[in-house]
């Protein structure tokens, strides 16, 4: 393919997506650290975030943001939500007109409560914006395990091109026009993963975890639909698929944080030892603001917000959920 892809951000998922795209077309990944960019470019490895895994030989890397984005036909943003806007603003003057922007970030901006594609619309108006999302654990994909994802854009013809850019024999990419639903599902499921991990840390069984995942899906679906997403999106790869993977995998950063909290560790201690971001921690307060704004009941997310931001213990959070009055399963509002 004669399409130049630039991935901004060399964390585990950004590097993995860049390695996938490099199998199909010319691809460059931007790393903030020159030493990491040099390693990816010359040694085809990322020992910081993906130790022991080989990357596609043709993948390029650079620490010069202006230089790489100026060549992009497709700009992929793999920057955590708290830095998304500032990095995009830094790149904006060098991005050619009409270049599609694809977000890999599963989070919401604190303060504005915006989705990443809404930030793109503010910083780079007139540029098509979408997301690549789904149940995708970076190390499993690099190891050659089969996986599936969704590329969501309103412009179907662009989504179909991007589908070919990211697809491989073992990485199947579907299209979906529901950008809002796909993007919200990716952000909201991280908070449910905190709860699932917390249940594991407290020593509860599979019944509890299944209940958390199922009722968590109901919560994120309610808010997602209230905010303009399509109900069917939340039963698909971007919703249920990503939720299950994030809630059960030992590779999930959000599940890990929840598990450590359930074991009695302090949040600052857990976060301080991690070299990547657990988006669910930052998303809890934002999600509760959105739930209040849209009049949506989200008891699991509410308890996670209380644990993360208000000092409630994991034991108290689970007792709070159990004290809720019984309701019909499919008639909650």
Contacts (Cβ under 8 Å, ≥6 apart) of 7: 14, 15, 17, 18, 21, 27, 28, 29, 30, 76, 78
Separation of alpha carbons 291 and 45, rounded Å: 41
Read off φ and ψ for residue 137, nearest 5 degrees: -95, 120
Structural Rg of the chain based on CA atoms: 19
Phi-psi category of residue 312: left, alpha or beta, with phi > 0 → left and psi -120 to 50 → alpha:
beta
H or E stretch covering 61: strand 60-62
Separation of alpha carbons 131 and 174, rounded Å: 12
Query: Among this protein's residues, is 139 annotated catalytic?
Result: no
Exposure string for 109-146, b = 16+ CB within 10 A, e = fewer:
beeeebbbbbbbeebbeebbbbbbbbbbbbbbbbeeee
Other beta carbons within 10 angstroms of residue 54's beta carbon come to 12
CB 131 within 8 A of CB 181: no
User: Pick the catalytic residue: 23, 189, 263, 282?
Assistant: 189
Separation of alpha carbons 93 and 98, rounded Å: 13
Q: Which residues are known catalytic residues?
A: 189
């Amino acid at each position: 393919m004669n399409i130049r892809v630039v991935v901004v951000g060399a964390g585990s998922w950004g590097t993995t997506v860049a390695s996938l795209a490099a199998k199909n077309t010319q691809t460059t990944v931007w790393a903030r650290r020159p030493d990491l960019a040099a390693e990816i470019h010359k040694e085809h490895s990322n020992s910081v975030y993906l130790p022991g895994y080989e990357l596609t030989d043709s993948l390029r890397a650079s620490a010069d943001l202006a230089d790489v984005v100026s060549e992009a036909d497709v700009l992929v943003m793999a920057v955590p939500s708290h830095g998304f806007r500032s990095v995009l603003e830094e790149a904006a003057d060098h991005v050619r007109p009409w270049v599609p922007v694809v977000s890999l970030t599963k989070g919401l901006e604190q303060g504005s409560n915006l989705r990443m594609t809404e930030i793109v619309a503010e910083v780079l108006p007139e540029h098509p914006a979408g997301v690549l999302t789904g149940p995708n654990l970076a190390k499993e994909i690099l190891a050659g395990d089969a996986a599936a994802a969704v590329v969501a854009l309103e412009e179907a013809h662009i989504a179909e091109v991007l589908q070919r850019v990211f697809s491989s024999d073992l990485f199947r990419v579907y299209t979906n026009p529901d950008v809002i639903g796909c993007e919200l599902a990716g952000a909201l499921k991280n908070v449910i993963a905190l709860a699932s991990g917390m249940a594991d840390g407290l020593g509860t069984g599979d019944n509890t975890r299944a209940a958390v995942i199922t009722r968590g899906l109901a919560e994120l679906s309610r808010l997602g639909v209230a905010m303009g997403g399509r109900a069917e999106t939340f039963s698909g790869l971007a919703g249920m698929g990503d939720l299950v993977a994030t809630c059960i995998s030992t590779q999930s950063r959000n599940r890990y944080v929840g598990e450590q909290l359930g074991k009695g560790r302090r949040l600052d201690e857990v976060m301080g030892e991690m070299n990547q971001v657990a988006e669910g921690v930052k998303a809890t307060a934002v999600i509760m603001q959105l739930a209040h704004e849209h009049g949506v009941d989200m008891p699991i997310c509410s308890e996670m917000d209380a644990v993360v931001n208000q000092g409630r213990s994991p034991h108290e959070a689970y007792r709070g959920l159990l004290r809720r009055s019984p309701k019909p399963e499919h008639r909650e509002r």
